[in-house]
Structure 1
């Protein structure tokens, strides 16, 4: 929020309210398998644009049958299954990961202990990163980890993000136990309808290449009925010492200059 006494710090001439670009269908992949797969697929169906495709790649022998049993429930995406060894470099090259917009790597936590499951995930992640660099593919990777101690290894492998499932769940439960009213906020943010957290192009809000303070950015979000809570400088996307370019609740007086590739972190509705 901006107090009335600070409104003179806003630079209206730097605000550019563009309509968001029309959503296009996506082609995504889930590599790996555990009991969460079907829930994740159902949840993704609520978010992806119509006409999207999801490919599940795993060495789960009855995986295709499990997915087929759920396929009638999908509205926005078609789902198909590819069987194979997800740690095999040649197999991963054969499926052509460059065709995907986003890739999720799941741990084989149903059948392996946390360390072996994480090791398998890291092998897949390293192969995908190397394939992407050598072929100049551009896709995001989110990796699931079981043991928080393997976090540094995931950072070295440069996942765009990683989720430590058990820790995430325990942290949410812990916060709700301390403040039961947070449950309503989590339900709202995690629901496919209503308010959610988004990474959106800076160019939809303000002019790039111009100096401005964060008051101006907040005002641009307000004019779109959104709340800007931070930003991501993509130059530092792979730099852990810079927090991967992410800044939440920044100093509103700090002078910023955004590039076209940078993103704003907003709470809003699609």
Structure 2
């Protein structure tokens, strides 16, 4: 039969439990040892002086004071310089005990400081912030999001962005220091941990966050099973946030998902959760920018916090029964482009005769919310009496798409909806798969009026490029595979662009009108892309990151984007001025241009001047939301930027 633990074993067990309590237990143990050593040496000295009296030793109080000095300071051994040998030995022993105990205490304090510093380096400390933006996840997109938020926070005295990811805190701090030179009034705080951990989220003051952005930790080109698991982790993170805050106090959440079924599931969890269908949005944008030259610069100006933004505005005194067409001229420095109902429905470019209900909010484009001012007296504007020239008939187009990604099918589908019957879409890929072929055939079956071809071809071969005759196409869109290193993807894009430029240069045709459209993953490569000869390009990562940042500040702005990129309703176009007036005055105000657009059932919010397209001032001749009073000197070669249902 096994013996029960004895007294020593039980005491050892209790001592082990006490010491495992952490730094406070160790500190209390050291203090107890100090007290015990002090009492022990005081008693020994007192008894020794009773047995062997020493004239140099005073009262009991003097003896206690001498023991205390010697146990805390080695130099106090001189106190026993004139004492007997016994007292000198007692002093030496006391000093040695003091040295051992003080060394232990110093070692303990040092280890606690090192542990705290290590804890700080690991990013596990508490975050005490309020009104901060919380980003859960780390990757290529986080940099652009943080840059946009820094711009958004310029008007705040002390703003904070908290980033949590599985990366080491030191690595994240170094990354932001290298990439962002000036954070202005914004502090970037990094922490390491698991985003789906309730304990970790509580340390980040999640309940006091202004908004939360959840980034997916798997690339778009990952296997389906990996994306399924990554999306499940995002859902788990959302539930962990709700567990921290309670359903009634959940901050606005913007989450990144790869799979549509997970997006639908997330939307049903709580009304504060928003998702972005990134690939669909980018695909539609690629099609629109390829068909309307200069449109990429318009979107770049509208998305994000630099330049103009979308705002909702409600007049506290109501709209007084005014129509949409009337209210366009009640804002001098803002462009009215639609309205939002109390149920959240957004309508862009409604008929001018639409009476705006007092409960509705206007959708405006403005440089800042401080610029939005409702004028009681409408701005005077002259509507042209003469009709504009008729739009030219829709022509047969040829579109070339090089490469295949998750956006390709959407791009082909969108193009087919825009193009006139008899137009042609050719897709060239270096390697063709059965899945790709099946997806392409499905799209071709839905658009019988459009000629479609899917070809396998290596365009790095000059003979293959020559047989394709790209100069006969209206647009060439270059797409790269999803995922991977942005720098490598852009390098491959630039190499292909050089192939096309070399071909056009040596083709002998000086009137090549083919427009090259490219997707740019890294905004640092813009200048190189422009040097190659791309007129329009889409900075995909930056564009989506801007939307994430903008939606984190105002989640309702996503409904405006949904309306602009939806299958139905109005879209942004850049149309010739001759469509709006047959005789163009030498000087005309922007207010008069808005009136001319309303006459055609469109909402004007900008001007494009062809003569300034290459003036190098950065705006490419595009003026978004100029004041209604601004006077322009325009010609028939210039354009209006409008919201319209049709391109003609």
TM-score, reference length from structure 2: 0.38
Instruction: Tell me which residue corresponds to 1:226.
Output: 602
Tell me the distance in 2 between the aligned counterparts of 1:90 and 1:168: 36
Shift in Å, 1:11:
7.0
Shift in Å, 1:209:
7.0
Conserved 8 A contact 2:383-2:595: no
Tell me the distance in 1 between the aligned counterparts of 2:524 and 2:598: 40
Instruction: Tell me which residue corresponds to 1:2.
Output: 329
- Write the mapping of 1:141-160 to structure 2, written as runs, cut at 5 A: 141-160=516-535
Q: For each residue in 1:174-212, what CA deviation from the matched residue of structure 2 results, as whole angstroms up to 9, or x when unmatched?
A: 323332322221111001320110111111013347322
Pairing 1:164–2:491 present = no
Tell me the distance in 2 between the aligned counterparts of 1:46 and 1:143: 21
- Write the mapping of 1:87-102 to structure 2, written as runs, cut at 5 A: 87-102=460-475
Tell me the distance in 1 between the aligned counterparts of 2:459 and 2:585: 42
Shift in Å, 1:131:
4.4
Question: In 2 relative to 1, CA 176–50 (structure 1 residues): closer, same or farther, beyond 3 Å?
Answer: farther
Conserved 8 A contact 2:383-2:596: no
Q: For each residue in 1:201-227, what CA deviation from the matched residue of structure 2 results, as whole angstroms up to 9, or x when unmatched?
A: 111013347322212211110111111
Shift in Å, 1:154:
1.4
Question: In 2 relative to 1, CA 86–246 (structure 1 residues): closer, same or farther, beyond 3 Å?
Answer: farther
Pairing 1:71–2:444 present = yes
Instruction: Tell me which residue corresponds to 2:479.
Output: 106
Identify the match of residue 413 of structure 2 among 42, 45, 61. 42
What is the aligned residue count?
267
Instruction: Tell me which residue corresponds to 1:256.
Output: 632
Tell me the distance in 2 between the aligned counterparts of 1:76 and 1:257: 42
Tell me the distance in 2 between the aligned counterparts of 1:166 and 1:41: 21
Identify the structure with the greater strand proportion: 1
Identify the structure with the greater helix proportion: 2
Pairing 1:23–2:394 present = yes
Identify the match of residue 200 of structure 1 among 575, 578, 585. 575
Q: With a CA cutoff of 8 Å and minimum separation of 6, indicate the structure with the bigger relative contact order.
A: 1
Tell me the distance in 2 between the aligned counterparts of 1:209 and 1:93: 47
**Deviating more after overlay: 59-68 vs 77-86:** 59-68
Conserved 8 A contact 1:64-1:80: no
Shift in Å, 1:165:
1.9
Shift in Å, 1:80:
0.5
User: Structure 2: where are the runs of 5+ without partners?
Assistant: 1-327, 331-376
Tell me the distance in 2 between the aligned counterparts of 1:216 and 1:89: 52
Conserved 8 A contact 2:429-2:455: yes
Q: Tell me the SS of whatever aligns to 2:418.
A: coil
Q: Tell me the SS of whatever aligns to 1:241.
A: coil
Q: Tell me the SS of whatever aligns to 1:104.
A: strand
Shift in Å, 1:168:
1.9
**Deviating more after overlay: 255-264 vs 51-60:** 255-264
Question: In 2 relative to 1, CA 199–131 (structure 1 residues): closer, same or farther, beyond 3 Å?
Answer: farther
Instruction: Tell me which residue corresponds to 1:126.
Output: 498
Shift in Å, 1:69:
4.4
Identify the match of residue 53 of structure 1 among 424, 438, 441. 424
Instruction: Tell me which residue corresponds to 1:117.
Output: 489
Tell me the distance in 2 between the aligned counterparts of 1:208 and 1:124: 42
TM-score, reference length from structure 1: 0.86
Tell me the distance in 1 between the aligned counterparts of 2:616 and 2:530: 8
Question: In 2 relative to 1, CA 217–263 (structure 1 residues): closer, same or farther, beyond 3 Å?
Answer: same
RMSD: 2.6
Tell me the distance in 1 between the aligned counterparts of 2:504 and 2:568: 33
User: Structure 1: where are the runs of 5+ without partners?
Assistant: none
Conserved 8 A contact 1:236-1:242: no
Structure whose alpha-carbon radius of gyration is higher? 2
Large movers: runs of 4+ above 6 Å: none
